Amino acid sequence: MKGYIEDITFLNEKAIKFGNEKVEGILVPSLGSNLLSLKYKHKDIELLRTPDSVEEYKKASILYGMPILFPPNRIEDGQFTYKGTSYKFPINEMEKYNHIHGFLHDMPWQVRKKEVNGKEIVINTEFSSSDFDLKGSFPQDITVNMSLSLRAETLEIQLEIANKGIEPFPWGAGYHTVFNFPFGAVSKWEDCRISLPVNKHWELNERSLPTGVIHETANTLEIQNGISLDGRQFDDLFGYDKERNPENECILTDQEAGIQVIYQGDQHFKFWVLFNQEGFVCPEPYTWVTNAPNLDLPAKLTGLRELCSGETVQLKTRLIVKEI
């Protein structure tokens, strides 16, 4: 299954089209290194929500492709303090007075590598804070490297975060992956199921921030076995159940289209947000819970972790496409 890579223009930006006989993707480094298209060629199905125009994309860029979140989700009042250092992000959710989704998803990244190694395609992009003036928001020196690897129907994504500065910083990361769900052109919600490996439900307040109250998920077995989103709308925060689901994976099944996507995260991803609207669903894997640095809860519970000077951490996710 020979792979290929092409330089193209997408949304008026330089982009990388890559693929093999089964799968084809489009990565746009200048738009947050966003994977804006992932097509299952055998059935001509676009798996991700893809914009038709620059104007459409600019209206709500976070609702297309696979935006990288750092930090993920909301920060109360757009700020927190950690070990005496202040982090201040712009308020971009005005009605709730929060910052949401961090600064990586709309910044330009640099291409470091793109090559075809037999049946494997490897693309490597990098963001370095030293290329930008971010001291007002994120005063630490950080490098984030993303590596995509496509083999057959499996796309592996590795995110490596490195502390290039002197002071430690708290980190949380995630993806706002927007699936074009139902996948099939004639599929209906009632033909589709999504399962998540979760068992804890975090209560949110009117600003969509955690109250600190955590419940057992009322419909745990249903969510773990697969629920229909027909007539249901979610914007919910869940904790991952490692004991019952060692394979930390979300499964999206479209019976009518005969296709299933398995979305796996490694053990760093302790939380999932489920968000859906008409025609799309976002299962969002996070390493920390929404607003983690401002919560008066143990770091073990919130997923907040520290990266010391010279340290790196690697986060791995995987998208697997299957016919059913």
Please give the positions annotated as active site: 176, 284
Nearest to 237 by CA among 196, 265, 181, 185: 196
Instruction: Name every residue whose Cβ is closer than 8 Å to that of residue 182 and which is 6 or more positions away in sequence.
Output: 188, 189, 191, 192, 254, 256, 257
Instruction: Name every residue whose Cβ is closer than 8 Å to that of residue 230 and which is 6 or more positions away in sequence.
Output: 188, 189, 190
Nearest to 108 by CA among 33, 164, 51, 175: 33
Determine contact, residues 248/197, Cβ cutoff 8 Å: yes
Determine contact, residues 97/91, Cβ cutoff 8 Å: yes
DSSP 236-286: EEEEE-TTT-SS-EEEEEETTTTEEEEEEE-TT--EEEEEEETTEEEEEEE
Specify the 3-state DSSP secondary structure of 54.
helix
Determine contact, residues 76/207, Cβ cutoff 8 Å: yes
Whole-Å CA distances, 141 to 30, 80, 183: 20, 17, 40
Q: What is the 3-state secondary structure (H, E, C) of 113-125?
A: EEEEECCEEEEEE
Determine contact, residues 66/175, Cβ cutoff 8 Å: yes
